[in-house]
Copies of this chain bind each other. A is one copy, B any other.
Amino acid sequence: MKAQELKKQSSVERILSAALEIFADSGFEGARIDEIAARAAVNKAMIYYHIGDKRALYARVLHDVFSDTATRLTQRVARAQTPVKKLKAYIRSMAATFEQHPLLPPILMREFASGGRNFPETVAEDMLRILDTVSSIVKQGHKKKVFIHVHPLVLHLMVVGTMTYIRSTRPVRQRLVDIAEKEVLLPESEDGSAPLADVEKLVLRAIKR
């Protein structure tokens, strides 16, 4: 690859990385283009030159973060044989997504709080595919008398809600520790994975017959 292309790619990657962090931290409206440029160590005109305006930048960031989430989840679930295994595959796939994109939870939360008005269309379609998958798992499991009857949406929101809250509330909880020494932090090395094992265990117990 030409040095010039590498140079461009480096700039674009730094811009996207900085944008993701700042959109996650401040939301679309609260994010400042100058701040993104400063964090990417580029002149802000480069953002407009390489990517586009603020909204185009945001859409690009969301696209990158959501990229293949639904596809990977549905494929992983398809490979599992039994409803219980499918459910575990679904939960683990969601957990892997958040593991790979730790800044996704705050972005999801803000978008949900805003009615998803900044979501690209592809993200909406991906959500439908994921819900279809969850619906299929739950219905199969109920049919085989392995799961109780549960609304797939409630189950999905329980899984996503719990995982994103565990991840996103950590700074707030750290603040609580500064107020009073309390069990509000989960073990450091586990905030990414072990609580998600808890989530899997609790969810399975919730719906298994």
Contact = CB atoms under 8 A, between A and B. Distances in A.
B24 A26 contact: no
Copies of the chain in the assembly: 2
Contact of A113 (B24, B132, B184, B202): B24
Interface in A160-177: 160-166, 168-169, 171-173, 175-176
Contacts of A26: 29, 114
Interface string A128-169: 100110010000000000001011111101101111111011
A5 interface: no
A124 interface: yes
A114 B206 CA distance: 31
Interface in A166-209: 166, 168-169, 171-173, 175-176, 179-180, 182-184, 186, 195, 198-199, 202-203, 205-207
Contact of A115 (B112, B128, B172, B195): B172
A115 B171 contact: yes
Interface string A26-66: 11111000000000000000000000000000000000000
**4 tightest A-B CB contacts, nearest first:** A29-B30, A161-B161, A115-B171, A106-B113
A13 interface: no
A205 B206 CA distance: 5
Interface of A: 24-30, 105-107, 109-116, 119, 121, 124-125, 127-128, 131-132, 135, 148, 150-155, 157-158, 160-166, 168-169, 171-173, 175-176, 179-180, 182-184, 186, 195, 198-199, 202-203, 205-207
B172 A202 contact: no
A165 B112 CA distance: 8
9 contacts: A26-B29, A106-B113, A109-B112, A111-B172, A112-B172, A128-B182, A153-B184, A158-B199, A205-B206
